[in-house]
């Protein structure tokens, strides 16, 4: 019984990962249930991510010249590099939508299959995002990343309406399928 209580206490203290995922643009919405499609800025994306935070091995950030925010290059784990290549091999011209903590960032256009296992968010992240990402994903240069960290989120998420009873929610309590614009 004591072991069970200790395990319960440890699991309650565990922090949830900072959600990062990349959605691929859907080829067509005809004949597809809306349960599998998410609309963002007038484009359909599949709800099943091609990459999530659990597939990422490391990251490094850079200062965006566009707006002074940070961009990030994510490097996938070896076993996921081939999956990304397979997911992008026949999708030239389609988009990949990066989403971090429910905020959508500038979509990436697939101009050729991604063979190096790297995905980029070009701008819009802040020091708080970098700090949260570093909890679960190994920074390639920890000293540099620590200098960029912020303790508080300068960009709080919008409040959600709590009126719908049967909406499915993810582990953060956010309605599944609700993605907010990052403003970039």
pLDDT at residue 2, rounded to an integer: 43
Which of 13-22, 35-44, 93-102, 167-176 reaches the highest mean pLDDT? 93-102
| Dihedral over alpha carbons 167, 173, 50, 114 (to 10 degrees) | 140
Give the integer Cα–Cα distance in Å for 96 and 111.
11
Q: How confident is the model at residue 141 (pLDDT cuts 50, 70, 90)?
A: very high
What digits encode the pLDDT tens for the residues 146-162? 999 999 888 766 665 55
pLDDT over threshold 60, residue 4: no
Spell 41-78 as b/e; 16+ CB within 10 A means b. Answer: eeebbbeebbbebebbbebebeebeeeebbbbebbbee
pLDDT over threshold 50, residue 8: no
Cβ contacts of residue 45 below 8 Å, gap of 6+? Answer: 23, 24, 25, 26, 37, 38, 39, 95, 97
What digits encode the pLDDT tens for the residues 28-71? 666 556 678 888 888 899 989 999 999 999 999 999 988 889 99
User: What is the pTM assigned to this prediction?
Assistant: 0.78
Give the DSSP letter of residue 145. Answer: H
Q: How confident is the model at residue 180 (pLDDT cuts 50, 70, 90)?
A: low
Q: What is the mean pLDDT of the chain?
A: 83
């Amino acid at each position: 019984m004591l072991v069970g209580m200790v395990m319960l206490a440890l699991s309650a203290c565990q922090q949830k990962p900072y959600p990062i995922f990349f959605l691929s643009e859907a080829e067509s919405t005809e004949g597809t249930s809306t349960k599998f499609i998410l609309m963002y800025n007038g484009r359909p994306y599949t709800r099943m991510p091609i990459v999530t935070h659990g597939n990422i091995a490391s990251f490094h950030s850079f200062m965006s010249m566009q707006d002074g925010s940070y961009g990030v290059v994510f490097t996938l784990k070896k076993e996921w590099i081939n999956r990304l290549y397979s997911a992008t091999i026949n999708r030239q011209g389609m988009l990949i939508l990066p989403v971090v903590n429910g905020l959508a960032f500038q979509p990436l256009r697939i101009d050729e299959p991604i063979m190096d296992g790297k995905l980029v968010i070009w701008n819009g992240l802040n020091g708080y995002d970098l700090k949260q990402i570093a909890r679960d994903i190994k920074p390639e240069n920890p000293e540099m990343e620590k200098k960029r960290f912020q303790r508080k989120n300068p960009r709080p998420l919008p409040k959600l309406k709590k009126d719908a009873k049967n909406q499915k929610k993810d582990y953060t309590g956010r309605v599944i399928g609700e993605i907010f614009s990052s403003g970039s």
